[in-house]
C-alpha cells in the first residue's frame, strides 16, 4: 500500500512539475492582469451590476482557462508520453499501469486545483479592490457601504470555486479515458469535447423528448438511459450560474454534485486503467 | 536456480490496421540467459531485438509463447523488479535534471527517503555525473551523458538484470568506451547484462554469448569463443624477428606441414588508436 502511494505520488509530482516547468502558470499571471485591467471598465453601472459583471467575467475566465488546460493537458498525458517514448522508461519499472494512470490524473488534478485556486484568489483580489474603490466613492452612507461589502465578500463564491474545480476534474477524467484508447491528441480532444457538449445537452434533450407527448419506444428509452449512464450530466454544474446570480444554493446540493463527480471520476479512471492494462506500448 | 531470462517459442505479430493483415516481428524465439552473463542480441534493424526486449519487460504482450525473468512471468511486478532498462534513444523527461531523473525512477520502483538519496549519490558517481553535472537539466546533456544518466536510472533499484537497447548508438568513441567499461564493471559485480547492438566490435569486447536475429528469426547462438575462434589456426605475435629468421621460420613451418594463412605486421584497432590520440582528460 505504501509502495503504491509512493509510486502514484512519484508520477503525480512529475506530471505537476512538468506542467510548472513548461510555464503553464505564466497563463495564470496573464489571466490575473487581464482581469484587473478589465475591472477598470464598466464603472457607469450600479455597484450591484459591477460586482455581478466581475463575478461573471471572473468565473467564465476560470472555467475557460481551466477547460483549455484540462483538455490539452489530459489529452497529452498518455499520447504525449507515448510520442516522446518516455513511457517506456516509466512502465518498465515495477509499477502497475493503473498506478501510472491514477498518478498522471492526480498530477493534472492538482495542477487544475492550483490554477482554479490562484485564479479564484485573483477574482477575490479584484472584488476587494473594487470594494475599496466603491466604498471610497459611494460608501458615506453606512447602509450602502455594508451592501457593497456584502456583494464583494459573498462566501457562496467558495461553493462556485469548488463546483468549477470538480467540473474541470470530470472533464480531465473523460480526456484521460480517451487518451488510453487513442494515439492521437486530436482524437482525444474531439471526443472529450463531444462528451462535454452531450453532457450539457442531454438532460435538456431528454426532458424535451419525454415531455413532447410522443410515445417513446423501448429502444429509444434504452438509448436515453445509456447516454444518461455513460455521459456525465454537466447541467448539474449550472449551480455555479445560480451562485453568481446571487441565488441561494445550499451546501448539501453542492456536496451532492461533488459526490456525483467523484463517482464519475472513479468509474472513468477504472475504465481507463482496464483499457490501458492490455495495451501494447 | 532459475535462468536470468528464459523465452520459449516467443512470438509477436503486430496488426497493420483494419483489413491489412499482420506483420511478424519475432518468430518463436527460444533463448536462455544465465545469471552473471553478458549477453548480446545482434541483428540488423527490424530483426526483432527491441521487440524481444519489450516482451521481456512486459511492455508488449506476446502473441504466443512465454518469457520468464528470474523464474517470474515477464511483465509481472516481481519480474520487473529484477530488471533495469536503458532504451535505444534517451527517452527521458528532459525537464528534469540528471539527479531528478534517477530520483524519479527510484520512486517509481517504490524507493524513498535516505536509502534512495544515498543510492542516487553512489550511482551519479559511478556514471561520472556527480557534482554539478547531475544538477543540470537533461536537455543540456550530450548523448553520452544522457546514456550514462539513463544507465544510473536503470540501476537505481539494484536490479539483477540490465537490459540495454543499443546503449552506444550515437555515442562518440570515448563515451562508447565508458559505457563498455561500465558493462564490464557490472559483470564484475555479478549482474546479468543483456544488450542489443549492431556495432559488432563493441559486442565482441564485452559479450560472453550472443544470439543473431534476422527478420524475427534466430540464425545463430553461442559463446563468442566458440563462434569466432578459428580452431584450425594458431597465432603467435612476436617482436624483433629479422628477415633471415622469418625466412627460416617459414621453411620450418612448411617442413612440418603447416600452411601460412596470413603474415605481416599486426594493425591496431582504429578505436584504440583514436582514443590513444586524445589527451588523457578527454579519454575519460
DSSP one-letter string for A155-200: TTHHHHHHHHHHHHHHHHHHHHHHHHH-S-HHHHHHHHHHHHHHHH
Place of cell 559485480: B189
Q: What are the residues whose beta carbons fall under 8 Å from the beta carbon of A195, sequence distance 6 or more?
A: A174, A231, A232
> Residues A109, A171: contact at Cβ < 8 Å?
no
Residue A117 has pLDDT above 70, yes or no: yes
**Span A195-236, pLDDT tens digits:** 999 988 887 777 777 676 666 677 777 777 777 788 888 888
Query: For position A167, what pLDDT does the model report?
Result: 94
Query: For position A79, what pLDDT does the model report?
Result: 86
CB-count exposure of residue B102 (10 Å: 0-12, 13-18, 19+): buried
> Helices B143-155 and B173-188: crossing angle, nearest 10°?
20
d(CA A45, CA B44): 75
Residue A275 has pLDDT above 60, yes or no: yes
Could you list the pLDDT tens digit for every one of the 284 residues in chain B? 789 999 999 999 998 877 778 889 999 899 999 999 999 998 888 889 989 999 999 999 999 999 999 999 999 999 999 999 998 877 888 889 999 999 999 999 988 889 999 999 999 998 889 888 899 999 999 888 898 899 999 999 899 999 999 888 777 888 788 888 888 888 898 999 999 887 777 788 888 999 988 888 988 888 888 887 788 888 888 888 888 988 899 999 999 998 888 888 888 777 777 777 777 665 55
Domain ranges of chain B: 5-228, 243-283
> In the predicted model, what is the mean pLDDT of chain A?
85
What's B36-59 look like in SS3?
Answer: CCEEEEECCCCCCHHHHHHHHHCC
d(CA A85, CA B128): 25
Q: Is A205 on the interface with B (CB under 8 A)?
A: no
**Could you give the ipTM of this predicted complex?**
0.80
Q: Is B104 on the interface with A (CB under 8 A)?
A: yes
Task: Work out the minimum CA distance from A66 to partner chain B, whole angstroms.
Answer: 23
**Span A84-100, pLDDT tens digits:** 888 889 999 999 999 99
d(CA B276, CA B282): 10
Task: Work out the minimum CA distance from A217 to partner chain B, whole angstroms.
Answer: 35
Chain B residues within an 8 Å CB radius of A22: 95
How would you list the strands of the sheet with B5-15, edge to edge?
B22-33, B5-15, B64-69, B72-73
**Maximum alpha-carbon separation in chain B:** 76
**Span A156-206, pLDDT tens digits:** 888 999 999 999 999 999 999 999 888 788 889 999 999 999 988 887 777
* Of residues A93, A96, A280, nearest to B109 (C-beta): A93
Chain A residues within an 8 Å CB radius of B91: 84-86, 88-89
Q: Is the dihedral of CA A33, A34, A36, A40 positive or negative?
A: positive
CB-count exposure of residue B93 (10 Å: 0-12, 13-18, 19+): buried
DSSP-derived secondary structure for B157-196: T--SEEEEESTTTT--HHHHHHHHHHHHHHHHTT-EEEEE
Cβ density class B113-141: b for 16+ within 10 Å, e for less: eeebeebbeebbebbebbeebbeeebeeb
**Closest Cα to residue B1, out of B64, B90, B71, B88?**
B71
**Closest Cα to residue A168, out of A60, A239, A66, A43?**
A66
Contact B150 A89 (CB under 8 A): yes
Q: Is A14 on the interface with B (CB under 8 A)?
A: yes
Beta bridge partner(s), residue B31: B7
Distance from chain centroid for Cα B52: 14
Q: Is B194 on the interface with A (CB under 8 A)?
A: no
Contact A91 B77 (CB under 8 A): no
Task: Work out the minimum CA distance from B171 to partner chain A, whole angstroms.
Answer: 19
DSSP-derived secondary structure for B126-151: HTT--GGGGGSBGGGS-HHHHHHHHH
> Residues B221, B212: contact at Cβ < 8 Å?
yes
Q: Is A255 on the interface with B (CB under 8 A)?
A: no
Contact A94 B107 (CB under 8 A): no
Query: For position B149, what pLDDT does the model report?
Result: 92
Our count of domains for chain A comes to 1
User: With left for phi above 0 and alpha for psi between -120 and 50, is residue B136 left, alpha or beta?
Assistant: beta
CA triple B97-B103-B107, angle to 5 deg:
145
Beta bridge partner(s), residue B196: B41, B165
Residue A42 has pLDDT above 70, yes or no: no
Q: Which CATH superfamily is domain B5-228 in?
A: P-loop containing nucleotide triphosphate hydrolases (3.40.50.300)
CA triple A127-A132-A133, angle to 5 deg:
95
Cell of B247: 625466412
Please give the model's pTM, rounded to 2 decimal places. 0.84
Query: For position B160, what pLDDT does the model report?
Result: 93
d(CA A169, CA B18): 34
Query: For position B225, what pLDDT does the model report?
Result: 82
> Residues A8, A106: contact at Cβ < 8 Å?
yes
Cell of B217: 528469426
CA triple A105-A225-A98, angle to 5 deg:
20
How many residue pairs bridge chain A and chain B with CB atoms within 8 Å of each other?
75
CB-count exposure of residue B94 (10 Å: 0-12, 13-18, 19+): middle
Chain A residues within an 8 Å CB radius of B109: 93-95
Helix, strand, coil shares of chain A as percentages rounded to 5?
Answer: 85, 0, 15
Chain B residues within an 8 Å CB radius of A91: 59
Task: Work out the minimum CA distance from A96 to partner chain B, whole angstroms.
Answer: 7
Give the pairing type, strands B83-86 and B192-197: unpaired
Helix, strand, coil shares of chain B as percentages rounded to 5?
Answer: 40, 25, 35
Give the pairing type, strands B209-214 and B217-223: antiparallel
Amino acid at each position: 500500500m505504501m509502495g503504491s502511494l509512493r509510486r502514484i505520488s512519484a508520477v503525480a509530482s512529475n506530471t505537476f512539475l512538468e506542467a510548472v516547468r513548461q510555464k503553464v502558470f505564466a497563463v495564470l499571471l496573464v489571466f490575473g492582469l487581464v482581469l484587473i485591467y478589465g475591472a477598470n471598465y464598466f464603472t457607469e453601472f450600479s455597484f450591484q451590476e459591477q460586482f455581478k459583471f466581475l463575478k461573471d467575467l471572473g468565473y467564465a475566465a476560470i472555467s475557460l482557462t481551466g477547460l483549455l488546460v484540462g483538455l490539452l493537458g489530459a489529452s497529452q498525458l498518455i499520447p504525449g508520453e507515448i510520442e516522446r517514448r518516455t513511457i517506456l522508461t516509466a512502465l518498465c519499472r515495477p509499477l502497475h499501469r493503473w498506478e501510472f494512470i491514477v498518478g498522471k490524473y492526480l498530477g493534472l488534478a492538482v495542477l487544475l486545483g492550483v490554477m482554479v485556486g490562484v485564479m479564484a484568489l485573483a477574482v477575490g483580489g479584484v472584488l476587494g479592490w473594487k470594494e475599496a474603490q466603491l466604498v471610497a466613492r459611494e460608501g458615506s452612507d453606512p447602509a450602502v457601504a455594508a451592501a457593497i461589502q456584502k456583494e464583494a465578500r459573498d462566501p457562496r463564491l467558495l461553493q462556485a470555486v469548488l463546483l468549477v474545480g470538480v467540473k474541470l476534474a470530470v472533464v480531465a477524467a473523460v480526456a484521460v479515458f480517451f487518451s488510453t484508447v487513442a494515439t492521437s491528441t486530436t482524437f482525444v480532444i474531439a471526443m472529450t469535447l463531444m462528451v462535454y457538449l452531450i453532457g450539457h445537452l442531454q438532460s435538456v434533450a431528454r426532458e424535451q423528448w419525454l415531455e413532447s407527448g410522443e410515445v417513446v419506444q423501448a429502444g429509444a428509452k434504452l438509448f436515453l438511459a445509456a447516454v444518461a449512464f455513460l455521459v456525465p450530466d454537466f447541467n448539474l454544474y449550472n449551480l455555479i450560474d445560480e451562485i453568481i446570480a446571487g441565488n441561494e444554493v445550499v451546501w448539501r446540493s453542492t456536496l451532492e454534485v461533488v459526490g456525483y463527480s467523484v463517482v464519475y471520476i472513479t468509474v472513468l479512471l477504472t475504465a481507463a486503467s482496464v483499457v490501458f492494462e492490455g495495451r501494447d506500448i | 536456480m532459475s535462468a536470468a531470462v528464459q523465452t520459449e517459442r516467443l512470438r509477436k505479430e503486430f496488426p497493420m490496421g483494419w483489413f491489412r493483415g499482420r506483420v511478424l516481428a519475432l518468430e518463436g524465439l527460444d533463448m536462455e540467459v544465465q545469471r552473471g552473463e553478458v549477453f548480446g542480441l545482434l541483428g540488423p534493424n527490424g530483426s526483432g531485438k527491441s521487440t524481444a526486449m519489450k516482451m521481456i519487460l512486459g511492455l508488449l504482450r506476446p502473441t504466443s509463447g512465454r518469457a520468464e525473468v528470474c523464474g517470474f512471468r515477464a511483465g509481472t511486478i516481481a519480474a520487473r523488479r529484477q530488471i533495469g532498462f536503458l532504451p535505444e534513444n534517451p527517452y527521458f523527461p528532459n525537464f528534469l535534471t540528471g539527479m531528478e531523473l534517477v530520483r524519479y525512477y527510484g520512486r517509481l520502483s517504490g524507493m524513498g527517503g535516505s536509502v534512495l538519496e544515498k543510492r542516487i549519490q553512489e550511482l551519479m558517481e559511478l556514471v561520472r555525473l556527480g557534482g554539478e553535472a547531475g544538477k543540470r537539466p537533461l536537455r543540456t546533456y550530450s548523448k553520452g551523458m544522457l546514456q550514462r544518466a539513463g544507465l544510473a536510472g536503470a540501476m537505481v533499484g539494484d536490479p539483477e538484470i540490465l537490459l540495454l537497447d543499443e546503449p552506444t548508438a550515437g555515442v562518440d568513441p570515448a563515451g562508447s568506451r565508458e559505457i563498455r567499461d561500465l558493462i564490464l564493471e557490472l559483470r564484475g559485480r555479478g549482474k546479468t547484462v543483456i544488450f542489443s547492438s549492431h556495432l559488432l566490435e563493441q559486442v565482441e569486447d564485452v559479450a560472453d554469448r550472443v544470439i543473431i536475429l534476422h527478420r524475427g528469426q534466430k540464425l545463430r547462438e553461442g559463446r563468442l569463443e566458440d563462434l569466432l575462434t578459428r580452431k584450425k589456426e594458431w597465432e603467435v605475435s612476436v617482436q624483433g624477428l629479422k628477415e633471415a629468421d622469418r625466412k627460416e621460420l617459414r621453411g620450418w613451418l612448411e617442413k612440418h606441414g603447416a600452411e601460412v594463412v596470413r603474415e605481416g605486421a599486426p594493425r591496431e584497432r582504429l578505436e584504440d588508436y583514436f582514443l590513444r590520440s586524445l589527451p588523457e582528460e578527454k579519454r575519460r
